[in-house]
């Protein structure tokens, strides 16, 4: 089959068919082998809080653990299907994959060409960061879903002038605000941009816009009130939550708990998404200079330039502002964590997808191959990997530790480093665990005759009579200090020394079942 035949068949396919295929491919990458890696420390905490909400009905907003939406929707899924590791990973996978359909929706508004939208969907579907954090129970992939839904709703309201789209925008903004404290960044970017377009009369709203705006605000406020008050159990929290969030995250910023240089996320892009970064820079140049995008906005000739050209230029300006503002904002914020990259990467993907046609298709294909290869590495390597994307991931060694716990009758945990054990031994399974949270005098468990004693290796016992001492990794991370002298070599080999948190596990020597 030659290239011309492929082009003809591609032209005959409807947008819905193409996006359906991309969605299925993206969904497969996000749901296949969901338990290949143990739950991350944060994932285990989020799953545990959701389980506590389901079983005890206990929840109150704490900015340390972000907004309530994640916990309520996960608890709801647990109630319907039962609590399991599979469901913990399924929910973010579905939301992450559904963003592909939102890209299709933006295309249907007329603000994206079919070719532009398809390449954006492809890059999104196979991006290692987007796939990795769609297999990860954190708030960010849900937040990104509602950010894109908000953009779609705004564009659809501008185009179709129907109040339902305005109400959907209020719903999306509210759900995003109920997820994470940085959602106002996207709302502010969109708000300032589209208000500017109104001011310069680039867009027009229907005559009912005031009524629609009131309805939108009421919907957003209502959703926020329901979630932040824990379904009316803590009504004061609706008013206190913003101040709690500002106070907490300002203190975190000042502490520099997980700090890094302002260009930290650019390094992450180079590590995992470098072809997209190159294509994005080229796309901006192509639009701004070769296609004279800025000139097009200043001098729109209705005889020669259709409205779709102006929409493309307006969207490109938004994408450039969105990318730039998020890179600056997250570069300024004290905490540098890999999952925040997806908020900066999403608009960059659209910039990279601009005008991939002709000879540039080869660059697009090379980019896809790179993304697929990197995705297979970071998502489907079944052992501990030396990658910054993992932040602090629970080690696969913990499977051996949990196998020992499973066969033990009584277990002592004398350490403050113990997650993800509460999730994996939730409910009645925790009954056999004597938890102290720190190193204690062995007399504390005298007469209990535990089969296992688990401690942190830096606060442990030299030995315990009747026990064999074994060492395991609890968690691990990429260590810049141990690899900076061989940065180029590490970039290609992804090997070297990792930082670790280690456990000393004392196994009762006369218990043959544990050997």
Tens-digit pLDDT profile for residues 193-243: 999 999 999 999 999 999 999 999 999 999 999 999 999 999 998 988 888
Domain ranges across the chain: 14-380, 390-514
Contact 388, 268 (CB under 8 A): yes
Contacts of 275 (CB under 8 A, 6+ apart): 352, 363, 366, 367, 370, 371
pLDDT of residue 252: 73
Please check the confidence at residue 16 and state whether its pLDDT lies above 70: yes
Average pLDDT, integer, range 155-164: 96
Tens-digit pLDDT profile for residues 29-82: 999 999 999 999 999 999 999 999 999 998 899 898 999 999 999 999 999 999
Grade residue 4 by pLDDT with cuts at 50, 70 and 90.
low
Q: What is the mean pLDDT of the chain?
A: 91
User: What strand order describes the sheet that includes 498-508?
Assistant: 393-394, 467-478, 498-508, 452-456, 411-414, 433-435
Please check the confidence at residue 245 and state whether its pLDDT lies above 80: yes
pLDDT of residue 137: 95
Handedness of CA 211, 318, 160, 185 (dihedral sign): negative
Please check the confidence at residue 512 and state whether its pLDDT lies above 90: no
Please check the confidence at residue 515 and state whether its pLDDT lies above 70: no
Grade residue 178 by pLDDT with cuts at 50, 70 and 90.
very high
pLDDT of residue 249: 79
Q: For 282-333, what is the HEC assignment?
A: HHHHHHHHHCCHHHHHHCCCCCCCCHHHHHHHHHHHHHHHHHHHHHHHHHHC
User: Of 144, 128, 111, 119, which is closest to residue 350 (Cα–Cα)?
Assistant: 119
DSSP codes joined into one string, 109-171: TTSS-HHHHHHHHHHHHH-HHHHHTTSS-SHHHHHHHHHHHHHHHHHHHHHH--HHHHHHHHH
- Checking 36-39 for CB contacts under 8 A at 24+ apart, the result is 36/379, 36/380, 36/382, 37/382, 37/393, 37/396, 38/393, 38/394, 38/395, 38/396, 38/398, 38/399, 38/420, 39/85, 39/88, 39/137, 39/394, 39/420, 39/423, 39/424
Please check the confidence at residue 2 and state whether its pLDDT lies above 80: no
Contacts of 347 (CB under 8 A, 6+ apart): 318, 319, 322, 323, 326
Please check the confidence at residue 431 and state whether its pLDDT lies above 70: yes
Handedness of CA 421, 423, 429, 430 (dihedral sign): positive
> Among all chains, which residue has been given the structure tokens 């993992």?
390
Average pLDDT, integer, range 388-414: 95
Tens-digit pLDDT profile for residues 263-294: 999 999 999 999 999 999 999 999 988 877 77
Choice between 265 and 252, residue whose per-residue pLDDT is larger: 265
Average pLDDT, integer, range 165-192: 97
Average pLDDT, integer, range 338-347: 97
Average pLDDT, integer, range 318-331: 96
Contacts of 445 (CB under 8 A, 6+ apart): 412, 434, 453
Grade residue 306 by pLDDT with cuts at 50, 70 and 90.
very low
Let me know if 104 is exposed, middle or buried by CB neighbors in 10 A (0-12, 13-18, 19+).
buried
Whole-number Å distance between alpha carbons of 383 and 370: 21
The tokens describing 285, both together, are 């140049």
Contact 92, 141 (CB under 8 A): yes
Distances (CA, A) of 143 to 147, 179, 180, 371, 406: 6, 6, 7, 23, 36
How far is Cα of residue 64 from the mean position of the Cα atoms in its chain? 17
Q: Terminal CA-to-CA distance of the chain, rounded, Å? A: 59
Choice between 293 and 507, residue whose per-residue pLDDT is larger: 507
Please check the confidence at residue 295 and state whether its pLDDT lies above 80: no
Contact 137, 92 (CB under 8 A): yes
User: Of 314, 319, 386, 311, which is closest to residue 350 (Cα–Cα)?
Assistant: 319
Tens-digit pLDDT profile for residues 444-496: 988 889 999 999 999 999 999 999 999 999 999 998 888 888 888 898 888 88
The share of the chain scoring above pLDDT 70, in percent, equals: 93
């Amino acid at each position: 089959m030659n290239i011309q035949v492929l082009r003809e068949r591609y032209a005959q396919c409807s947008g819905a068919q193409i996006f359906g295929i991309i969605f299925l491919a993206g969904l497969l990458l996000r749901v296949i082998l969901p338990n290949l890696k143990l739950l991350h420390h944060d994932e285990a905490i989020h799953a545990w809080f959701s389980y506590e909400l389901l079983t005890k009905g206990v929840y109150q907003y704490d900015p340390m653990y972000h907004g309530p939406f994640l916990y309520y929707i996960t608890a709801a899924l647990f109630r319907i299907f039962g609590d399991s590791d599979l469901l913990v990973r399924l929910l973010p996978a579905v939301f992450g994959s559904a963003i592909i359909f939102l890209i299709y929706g933006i295309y249907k508004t007329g603000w994206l060409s079919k070719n532009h939208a398809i390449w954006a969907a492809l890059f999104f579907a196979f991006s290692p960061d987007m796939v990795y954090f769609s297999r990860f129970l954190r708030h960010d992939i849900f937040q990104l879903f509602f950010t894109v839904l908000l953009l779609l709703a705004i564009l659809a309201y501008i185009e179709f002038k129907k109040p339902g789209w305005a109400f959907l925008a209020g719903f999306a903004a509210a759900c995003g605000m109920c997820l994470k404290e940085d959602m106002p960044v996207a709302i502010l970017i969109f708000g300032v941009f589209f208000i500017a377009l109104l001011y310069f009369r680039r867009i027009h709203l229907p005559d009912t816009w005031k009524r629609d705006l009131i309805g939108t605000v009421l919907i957003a406020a209502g959703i926020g009130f329901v979630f932040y008050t824990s379904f009316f159990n803590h009504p004061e929290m609706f008013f206190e939550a913003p101040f709690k969030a500002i106070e907490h995250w300002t203190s975190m910023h000042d502490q520099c708990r997980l700090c890094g240089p302002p260009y930290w996320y650019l390094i992450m892009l180079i590590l995992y998404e470098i072809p997209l970064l190159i294509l994005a820079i080229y796309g901006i140049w192509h639009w701004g200079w070769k296609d004279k995008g800025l000139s097009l906005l200043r001098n729109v000739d209705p005889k020669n330039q259709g409205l779709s050209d102006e929409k493309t230029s307006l969207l490109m300006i938004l994408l450039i502002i969105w990318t730039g503002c998020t890179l600056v904002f997250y570069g300024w914020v004290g905490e540098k964590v890999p999952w925040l990259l997806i908020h900066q990467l999403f608009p960059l993907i659209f910039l990279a997808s601009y005008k991939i046609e002709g000879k540039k298709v080869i660059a697009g294909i090379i980019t896809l191959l790179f993304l697929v290869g990197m995705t297979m590495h970071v998502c489907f390597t079944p052992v501990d990997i030396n990658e910054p994307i993992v932040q602090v991931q629970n080690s696969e060694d913990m499977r051996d530790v949990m196998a020992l716990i499973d066969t033990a009758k009584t277990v002592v945990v004398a350490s403050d480093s113990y997650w993800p054990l509460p999730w994996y031994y939730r409910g009645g399974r925790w009954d056999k665990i004597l938890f102290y949270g720190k190193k204690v005098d062995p007399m504390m468990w005298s007469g209990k005759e535990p089969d296992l004693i688990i401690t942190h290796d830096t606060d442990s016992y030299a030995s315990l009579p009747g026990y064999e001492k074994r060492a395991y990794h609890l968690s691990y991370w990429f260590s810049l200090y141990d690899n900076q002298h061989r940065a180029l070599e590490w970039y290609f080999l992804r090997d070297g020394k990792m930082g670790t948190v280690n456990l000393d596990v004392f196994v009762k020597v006369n218990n043959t079942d544990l050997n």
